[in-house]
Structure 1
């Protein structure tokens, strides 16, 4: 079993979009301005192929198991988030979306783990742990001392996992009107 992690390419959009939807659920509707899942997926594919938003291939890493896409991680510097989110908001406005507001999810001094999702077929094989380790390597390469993520307050098993990985709850956070914990790990 050989797991490799690589920078995503625009051609990975069709494999990445369903995993992003799996990870963020209804938030994907808000991020694309769509209500039908097939249109949500198309919108995420479009965003993925662009280079100017948080769901771009430039901020996505692909985990492959024996050459098959097994998982993804979306990861970007918090200092870049305002520009990325402004571009996303502008894209939504041009589409005529009813809500173009994009909630901030990180602080400027953090490397933010926006999304991690493992294909259900490949869960339980340590791929998620390897992606989190890879995020630490990226943080070190970028000389960023804090990794962060947000987790819904009711997702107790995820919170326990993140704590085992060294993340601590540092503050409450709100995304699309819902309560989250903002968790940070010093690397």
Structure 2
């Protein structure tokens, strides 16, 4: 298994993993309940730099060229800057959403952590996290 930085091209496999971590949060961050629109907007955020869901904040667990899992994380002090593109998007939709501060400035925050259903229960990604 290789742990590597995510690339924009990983969106196709990472976005379902983001949804897997919390559909409710995905609906809040995208401003919609419609699954196809949620997926499209999450992919857009993932492709863009400098936001909490960006490929830049994502590490991939890669097994034989397949995405086995992912983690999105960032420094707590960066959260307001990383949330700005998302809150700006929500304001464009007419939604006033304040994203909750989830980490202190001096903490490293794990936003999302997921294992691909294919690899779930096989132990390899869990072993790598340790």
Task: Report the TM range for the smaller structure's normalisation.
Answer: over 0.9
1:118 is matched with which residue: 108, 115, 120? 115
Say which SS state the counterpart of residue 118 (structure 2) adopts.
helix
Q: Is the radius of gyration larger for structure 1 or structure 2?
A: 1
Q: Distance in 2 between matches of 1:40 and 1:97?
A: 17
In structure 1, what is the equivalent of residue 98 of structure 2? 101
CA contact (8 A) 1:8 1:62 kept: yes
Q: Distance in 2 between matches of 1:97 and 1:116?
A: 30
Say which SS state the counterpart of residue 93 (structure 1) adopts.
helix
Say which SS state the counterpart of residue 55 (structure 1) adopts.
coil
Runs of 5+ consecutive residues of structure 2 not aligned to the other structure: none
Report the number of matched residues.
129
| TM-score normalised by structure 2 residue count | 0.92
**Ranges of 4+ aligned residues in structure 1 off by more than 6 Å:** none
Relative to structure 1, the CA distance from residue 80 to residue 129 in structure 2 (aligned partners, 3 Å threshold; closer, same or farther) is farther
Please state how far the C-alpha of 1:100 moved relative to its aligned partner.
2.5
In structure 2, what is the equivalent of residue 138 of structure 1? none
CA contact (8 A) 1:33 1:97 kept: no
CA contact (8 A) 1:72 1:118 kept: yes
Counterparts of 1:109-148 in structure 2, within 5 Å, are 109-124=106-121, 125-130=123-128, 132-133=129-130
Q: Distance in 1 between matches of 2:118 and 2:43?
A: 22
Say which SS state the counterpart of residue 121 (structure 1) adopts.
coil
Relative to structure 1, the CA distance from residue 31 to residue 67 in structure 2 (aligned partners, 3 Å threshold; closer, same or farther) is same
2:10 is matched with which residue: 12, 18, 21? 12
CA contact (8 A) 1:117 1:128 kept: no
In structure 2, what is the equivalent of residue 24 of structure 1? 22
The question of 1:54 aligning with 2:64 is answered no
Runs of 5+ consecutive residues of structure 1 not aligned to the other structure: 134-187
CA RMSD of the aligned region, Å?
1.3
- Higher strand fraction (1 or 2): 1
In structure 1, what is the equivalent of residue 82 of structure 2? 84
Relative to structure 1, the CA distance from residue 9 to residue 97 in structure 2 (aligned partners, 3 Å threshold; closer, same or farther) is farther
Relative to structure 1, the CA distance from residue 52 to residue 91 in structure 2 (aligned partners, 3 Å threshold; closer, same or farther) is farther
